[in-house]
Amino acid sequence: MQFNSRLFTGTGKFSSNKEMREALDASGSELVTVALKRVNEHRPEEDLFHHLREGNFRLLPNTSGVRNAKEAIFAAQLAREALQTDLLKLEIHPDPKYLMPDAVETLKATEELAKMGFKVFPYIHADPVLCKRLEDAGAVAVMPLGSPIGSNLGLKTFDFLKIIIEQSRVPVVVDAGIGAPSHAAQAMEMGADAVLVNTAIAASPDPVRMAKAFKMAVEAGRMAYEAKLAQPVQHAVASSPLTGFLDED
């Protein structure tokens, strides 16, 4: 899988499907997450997929709402049948208040789904050990959280994300908590392969303009990573010579 854009987007929380489509177009995103429960074949004007057709989007169905591995595998099979794709964002969060991913059930489901031929993108805590276990289980990417879903708190797991990125043999997509374009740029500067953003765009009073801002931030962050950031030091370093000409007669 190759994409021109490193900005992945969600499709929830927009005020209308028309607004969602306009924001996705502005973002340049080519991979969008969708919840299977949003399909409405009987009322096409309310059907999410009606507004995504004919776009340059690849769908990444998610298992949002499931509470354990068994439910996730069932949801994955429904998504494969309905959308004709093996791609899957695996989300298992039994706690409705904090939506923290269940590490044990996520690992168990990843092992089973990979054997069934799914290309699994597990949403998880920023746990470097768990990420390596998921790699070994067959995940095609890992999606560690920056902070709780929808919180807009940014990269509270910064130090752990750095370890994950340094060690990972599969793409790292920073997911959840990215509330500002600067957060996305920070993740990309760190070396993340991509970021996934939903709430920060959908909840903006101007989602289209915010989507453009995220697009630019992701591109700038990646460019800075490739150009190599200057290393921080704990003392002042003059950018111009301080000696020489003052001593001349």
Catalytically annotated residues: 89
| SS3 (DSSP) at 33 | strand
Packing angle, helices 158-167 and 128-137, rounded to 10: 40
CA atoms within 13 A on the CB side of 72: 32
Residue 172: DSSP 8-state: B
Distance CA 196, CA 140 (A): 16
Q: Fill in the amino acid letter for 156.
A: K
Find, among 119, 247, 143, the residue nearest to 198 by Cα.
Answer: 143
Helix (H, G, I), strand (E, B) or coil at 51: helix
